[in-house]
Structure 1
């Protein structure tokens, strides 16, 4: 983060290749192109680039007064999915008497090339431009295999013949790369794949992401690379199986099938008795919320595990369990406000394909949609180190059982009373968070559960009364203990 003196030095150095200035506050394309160019660092400076907003080309300040909304909108550029892979950037402002300066600081990408709306922007001296083929190759060669995520590493046993190149060329590529760039690109398909991190030129083989997305038979290399759907007649796995299906193959095709399956089979609209003269149609599960949960399972799972994603439907609920617990910076105490990507290349591809609308916001949207539909909040299970689970209750069954005074109101609380020994759903989330971090604070719990500090205190008091938790030590420096 630059201090005031450093900012002044950059403003007066009009020839710096690491700086771009603008007085505009709403030219999103210009901002994103600059961020993309600094991320690619084609000159290999290994130094951050800086976009100064509120500064003219001659270094003079425009008199800008930065609002919180403007700063928030600029910070959202990082995760809106138009710059892929996501840039490493920070946004802050510096006050000057002549006007504020907003600084967007961009670090060089670990895995270039970075694209904005399908175009690779780079710095050429003090200006930016679209990369040509030679410059794109330089960026591709900058990638480091050392420490790379699993999906970026080469699949040494595979070859180009293991990929559905027609699927890549005809379906994926036009969605990922700008049309005009594609028309001029006459390179072999290996280089086109490599530019999107699906092929490793040095090793002469596809990456794991390439096989998972476009492979003729991904399961040959990753035994658990499929989604196992089972529908049970009752409320546990011992009950009769009434339907099952295995979603397997390349993810480009599988994701489309899975999306259609959720809409046509899982959502299930039912007539529900409201009064003697009226019935209403209710959805068991909202399509977009369940799709988001399943897409997250596919995106974040551990593909080095031989276990599949389990998608189980019971009479009263859905359960999704995928191999691999929370990853990287994500922890039970900060989920879902903090996210991290075990498979960033897959995440990028799913954004390109339209299965991820925006990064880091999915779970919050899921909880809102489930609550509005009458399902109550999804319950996340962090207890098992090697898997991640989520449970969603059937809104129609809850309503028929009289567990909701109105659909979407108080259902989450009533569910807990039915299934958790008078522990509400919010309290189940609190217990899960405490199991993951015994020193978690009430404020952190409020963020995780999505309720006020006062409501958190009420729930903690209730859990103490029920004998579920107890406090060891003082309020500051003590810890929670789960009572079995």
Structure 2
């Protein structure tokens, strides 16, 4: 259901001074970029309205509908993709719909203010002041940082009160993470202190409260498992079909989430058998027992969606002779249920800020697509066991 009725939409169409509405004549040319910038700005809600803003497509600058403009299903799908294409982080909360306003068809994007600003589009923070939109100043960014909720916020940006700045790896933050999340020209131009940069990227609570967040320890912490006991990975290669069989390779994997993902993927590559076919083909071909692209998607999904709260359980990867099992603590979250788990378009984020960080670091190309990519590669070889306390991805063996 829409937050606004037709009369409210029409009033926003006509209000030339509004900082809660932006108008576009079409979704062609540079409009897709401009619309994303507008969505980012509305999600940041610099003015602090606390209510959704709207982007109206198919509307003249004077507030009247474009004659002959048609809202197609393809257009609505393209607009809905703004939420999940990974360019705006954290992913915005929005609703896309077709409305008949002042006698013409209009595509409407309703954008809710983000609880954990600042929101970035391609590494830049866009805001609105009055009817204008532009990049946030240092003061604008401070306002957004201070507005970040201290109650009912996601666990991944809650503080670890006994940790200090010494528990964060400054070199990793400045050389690896910061350039990946903030556009390079913005980074060069600003004169923010180290503490201000940590606060802006949610590695610490704020400029004045330097306690590292869960996110900070997971992404740039020197030893995350010292503070979050379950923040590690257990890998087992078992010579058999159940846990009672001999273990031929075992490794507990520690470090940041990025370190764990990289090392785990190295282990999977090392154990993955490849067969080579020479006969009856013009060129030799290779086939993997398990498609690595699919395994990468499942592994990264496990780290992104697992629970780090009130659990000492790691991500567990068990490689048996006939299957691989990837277990992550934490069952379905939010709008995801055991019944709709894995269905196209059904996704929610227990760790929205960690998802943002993994996207920035290159481990996620498109939000909500991991399971679909794995299913396309694996077909019936992939199944899920979904329980209140954990999710397991189980991949059957193929022929190498």
Give how far 1:310 is off.
0.9
Distance 1:94 1:307 in 2: 48
1:303 to 2:303 alignment: no
Aligned partner of 1:33 among 33, 37, 53: 37
Give 2:145's aligned residue: 140
Aligned partner of 1:250 among 248, 252, 256: 256
Distance 2:199 2:261 in 1: 22
Tell me if structure 2 keeps the 8 A contact 1:274–1:280: no
Give 1:425's aligned residue: none
Deviations 1:324-357 (A, max 9, x none): 1111221011111322211111111111111111
Alignment gaps of 5+ in structure 1: 398-484
Which SS does the other structure have where 2:250 is aligned? strand
Tell me if structure 2 keeps the 8 A contact 1:35–1:106: yes
More deviation, 97-106/319-328: 97-106
Q: Which has the higher contact order (CA 8 A, sep 6+)?
A: 2
Which SS does the other structure have where 2:56 is aligned? strand
1:393 to 2:396 alignment: yes
Distance 1:134 1:266 in 2: 52
Deviations 1:110-152 (A, max 9, x none): 1000000000000011010100111100000001111111111
Which SS does the other structure have where 1:396 is aligned? coil
Alignment gaps of 5+ in structure 2: none
Distance 1:139 1:279 in 2: 57
Which SS does the other structure have where 2:117 is aligned? coil
Give 1:358's aligned residue: 366
Give 1:69's aligned residue: 74
Distance 1:281 1:117 in 2: 37
Tell me if structure 2 keeps the 8 A contact 1:154–1:203: no
Distance 1:99 1:260 in 2: 56
More deviation, 357-366/253-262: 253-262
RMSD between aligned residues? 2.1
Aligned partner of 1:377 among 376, 381, 386: 381
Distance 2:330 2:255 in 1: 20
- Cα distance change on mapping 1:257 and 1:368 into 2, 3 Å: same
Aligned partner of 1:289 among 294, 298, 304: 294
Give how far 1:369 is off.
0.8
Give how far 1:24 is off.
2.7
Structure 2 length-normalised TM: 0.93
Distance 1:16 1:280 in 2: 61
Structure 1 length-normalised TM: 0.77
Which SS does the other structure have where 1:200 is aligned? coil
